[in-house]
Amino acid sequence: MKKIFSLLLVFAMLFAFASCGGKDNPSVPEITVNCTDSIGNIYLKISEEIPMEYEKFNLTANDMIDYYGIKTEKISEMIAVQDACGYKDEIVMIKANDSAAAEEIADLLGQHIAYQKDSMKDYDPEQYKILTSSIVDIKGEYVAMFISASQDKMLEIYDSYFTD
């Protein structure tokens, strides 16, 4: 039942944030997604292969300003998931409206990681170690952040959907 509910939420989020059209920018290399251009499908693949250890909840576009400082108008499509603890596991994948918005989003997610590292340094050394190897990945208009003990595998799956 949880999987069905999760799938429904993913698809609801996809339809809610889907956008039409786009602008060509010759200075930014075009990034295409191999199997699908749906971040939701990438997330489903990650969650199938790497279940989160803790109960999770999905963030809405409106939550993005509170958690990360990301304005909803910068987002074309997104999936953002945290564990119920609020700090152990985080998955954020965003298709920004353009490459400038993607750069801004990547910067804000990087600031989030830095803040979490400062918070966890003395509180949870194991989580601090995970955060020190966390990165924000940017590919054209796509931005991803994985904070998890399995973040390397998550990034590997994510990367497999992109071609040069």
Residue 9 has pLDDT above 50, yes or no: no
Are residues 78 and 93 in contact, defined by beta-carbon separation less than 8 angstroms? yes
Q: How many angstroms separate the CA atoms of 140 and 163, rounded? A: 11
- Alpha carbon distance 149, 26 (integer Å): 37
pTM (2 decimals)?
0.74
User: Residue 13: its pLDDT value, please?
Assistant: 44
Q: Are strands 142-147 and 75-83 parallel, antiparallel or unpaired?
A: unpaired
136 pairs with which residues across the strands? 145
Between 9-23, 27-41, 58-72, 79-93, the lowest mean confidence (pLDDT) is in 9-23
Q: How far is the C-alpha of 93 from the C-alpha of 78, rounded, in Å?
A: 6
Question: How are the residues of the chain apportioned to helix, strand and coil, as percentages rounded to the nearest 5?
Answer: 45, 20, 35
Res 89: pLDDT = 85
What pLDDT was estimated at residue 130? Answer: 86
Predicted confidence band of residue 88 (pLDDT cuts 50, 70, 90): confident
Q: Please check the confidence at residue 18 and state whether its pLDDT lies above 60.
A: no
CA–CA gap between residue 61 and residue 75 (Å, rounded)? 8
**pLDDT (0 to 100) of residue 154:** 93
When pLDDT is cut at 50, 70 and 90, the band that residue 20 belongs to is very low
Write down the pLDDT at residue 37: 55
Average pLDDT for residues 75-96, to the nearest whole number? Answer: 85
